[in-house]
Amino acid sequence: MNILCIGGGPAGLYFALLMKQLNPRHRVTVVERNKPYDTFGWGVVFSDATMDNMREWDPVTAAEIEKAFNHWDDIELHFKGEVIRSGGHGFVGIGRKKLLNILQARCEQLGVDLVFETDVVSDADFPEADLIIASDGINSNIRTRHQDVFKPDIVVRPNRYIWLGTHKQYDAFTFLFEKTEHGWFQAHIYKFDENTTTFIVECPEHVWQAHGLDRADQAESIAFCEKLFAGNLQGEKLMTNARHLRGSAWLNFQRVKCEQWAHFNGRSHVVLMGDAVHTAHFAIGSGTKLAIEDAIELTRQFRDLGDTPAHIPEVLARYQALRSVEALKLQNAAWNAMAWFEVCGLRYCDRMAPPQFMYSMLTRSQRISHENLRLRDRQWLEDYEAWFSGGPVILPMLTPLKVRDLTLHNRIVVSPMATYSAVEGTPQDFHLVHLGARALGGAALVMVEMTSPTPEGRITPRCTGLWNDEQTAAFKRICRFVHGQGTAKIGLQLGHSGPKGSTQVGWEQTDEPLKDGNWPLLAASAVPYGTQNQVPHAMTRVDMDLLTQQFVAATQRAVAAGFDWLELHCAHGYLLSSFITPLTNLRTDEYGGDITRRCRYPLEVFRAMRAVWPTHLPMSVRISAHDWAPGGNTDDDAVVIAKLFKDAGCDLIDVSSGQTTRDARPVYGRMYQTPFADRIRNEVGIQTIAVGAISEADHANSIIAAGRADLCAIARPHLADPAWTLHEAAKLQTQAVAWPRQYLSGRDQLDREVLRQKQALALANSSQSATISEANNRPD
């Protein structure tokens, strides 16, 4: 094949040498616009795993890089006068210029043609090429030329950063945080050769402007950074190698993500690679990693499927199918890390103590979990667990939490889940067994499913209600059982179905109207949940006053029944949610309009309930923090909503999302709603409950330890396993959660079985390592 690589960065050079090595008959050319030694930036980083891949694919290049790279395992934080260090993280740093020179030399050794100082504007200038690799960077000319095909999604992020260097030596990946009169700055620092260290300074746009850095030239910007970080630099200077850039050299990061990676231009197959097709923020230092692994994967496909021009379409299709998934995973992690640094000044720096700030920073990408930190640095994590618990080492999810005068013995909540088993709104023996079993299962708080204050407010005919004495007595029986069997508390979630009422039970057709026997519905406006649902009656002032009284009466019955906790349901498109979201609130009176007016009636209901609910007991509110639909509420609105309820006396916000419209298109994933809980907790200053795709103790421990939420509500896993908390704790070999006395022998048996499994796994790993070591030391 005749292969042309446009752009002589890591992606283009590494792919060129791999393909020439794969088949020396290929004609491979790299065209670069800069001189051989002209490059922007100081050092680049990639992981130990990437180095392992490079050793496999080209040991010669890997050996040269290993001679030049700087390796470290530690991450060090300087924050609020404290220095905290954690190990086991595994990074490789190398000067960008040195890396490119190694790749250039290897290309020449293998017979790759290198052409410098040639700026390529169009792929059409090379009609003789069978394959064109567009590795021409973040501002790719080739991508722009065919943007209707590649369909790039480019997002310019708000923070400003400047890429500098220094001769001060650091022996860890170091993060510095400094507060000024206008806000916080952070520096990302890593050594990349014997004499030089990368020193990236970052801050929010408003802080950058407040210091006049938008008007500063490079020399003034460098002087500012030297003064800001003088305590750490200790007299060392900062340097730039971006003198060719105009202005101050402060940049905005651009996130690039392309829908299509390859294109046939009529003569040649063109494929994007590296920053041209995807970018990863420097917060996890993975741009070079992505580029190198792009090159490896495309080479792998040519090796496996065939490396002739006829194979190119199949290879490129397979390459995108495989590589786009892996790239997206890394981009999502980089996005999380980037977003953390963008908001840390607003959300974490002032609020958190240094130990928790360090934990939050280490887990910012959500790729590193609690137990993964234990593998990396057990001592550091155990010290943090002791700090978090204020005494002996306890898993974060098993630490107690006091809200008003109520103490929960751990941070796990059985989320309210509809079971469709009531008769005329009255709980049955099923509810006693269902809720009682989960109260014995180790969770600190068991929540009853959404319960209506009126018959017409039920979701289905089989949902629970609390409008008469029979229902009160049935709930009192359940509360009495829970209180008599251990430390668990029990809470009630009150809500009115609104436009989503009069529907079939969950195992029939969820949210679909009853086939007969439907009842009239209420809502903020006459907007049905779907075309097949009834059109609800828009509530009048009389309707609102009556329903408020019914909520108050149900609250008083909840007190009589003996509940420990009360939650008001203002989410998921039910009645109070229909007021809050602009998608269903079309009112023109004082209860419609901006977010404050849309929240007015739900706040009236909450205040009326709070007035009769005991002052020593907590009240929470469940909200949909994002409608996941055009024109709906976003997490910006959720912050306002949470603030309004906080001011009204709410103790916690139970942070869910979506289900307010059939048009919602949520972006699912593990712990996908936790970022909303995190933002509300740390910006509004109110405790939160995280919910949604939290299925492991590792998830819960990470969320609680990082301060992303104060409680974790676990739903479906509790349907599959009533003793989810006990079993997850046993897997982690802790007895910090109390088992029912009747089940202690089962606990001991489970502990022994888990220990045996761990020992067997350790032995197997040890044997495997010994076998590998023996093979590596065997003479040829």
Residues serving a catalytic function are 574
Secondary-structure percent of the chain, ordered helix, strand, coil, rounded to 5: 45, 20, 35
What ranges make up the beta strands (E) of 228-291? 238-239, 251-258, 262-264, 269-272
The stretches of 488-599 forming alpha helices (DSSP H) are: 541-561, 575-580, 595-598
- Distance, first Cα to last Cα, the chain: 35
**Alpha-carbon gap, residue 357 to 216, rounded angstroms:** 31
Structure tokens belonging to residue 691: 């919910």
Beta-ladder partners of 486: none
Q: Which pair of structure tokens corresponds to residue 530?
A: 């779907």
CA distances from 261 to 151, 257, 258, 273, 779 (A): 9, 10, 6, 8, 45
Report which residue type is found at 407.
Answer: T
CB atoms within 10 A of CB 406: 17
Residue type, 448: V
Q: Which contiguous run of DSSP H or E holds residue 162?
A: strand 152-166
Q: C-alpha angle 326/99/221, rounded to 5°?
A: 95
Q: Please count the other Cβ atoms lying within 10 Å of the Cβ belonging to residue 349.
A: 18
Cα gap 185→207, rounded to integer Å: 8
Tell me how far apart the alpha carbons of residues 723 and 731 are, in angstroms, rounded to a whole number: 12
- Answer for the pair 467, 453: CB distance below 8 angstroms, yes or no: yes
Comparing CA positions, the residue from 764, 705, 743 lying closest to residue 371 is 705
Q: Tokens 């392309």 identify what position?
A: 258
Instruction: Quote the Cα angle for 195-201-202, to 5°.
Output: 155
Q: Enumerate long-range contacts of 334-337, CB under 8 Å, 24 or more apart.
A: 334/280, 334/281, 334/283, 334/284, 334/286, 334/365, 335/255, 335/281, 336/364, 336/365, 336/366, 336/675, 337/281, 337/283, 337/284, 337/364, 337/365
Contact 398, 737 (CB under 8 A): yes
CB of 225 within 8 A of CB of 201? yes
Reduced to 3 states (helix: H, G, I; strand: E, B; else coil), residue 513 is strand
In terms of Cα–Cα distance, which of 16, 218, 257 is closest to 138?
257
The two three-digit tokens of residue 351, written as one number: 């609020």
Distance CA 157, CA 140 (A): 18
- Distance in angstroms (rounded) separating the CA atoms of residues 315 and 306: 8
Helix (H, G, I), strand (E, B) or coil at 277: coil
Dihedral angle over CA of 697, 698, 699, 700, nearest 10: 50
- Answer yes or no: are the C-beta atoms of 126 and 118 closer than 8 Å: no
Burial class (CB in 10 A: 0-12, 13-18, 19+), 417: middle
Query: CA 102 to CA 116: how far, in whole Å?
Result: 16
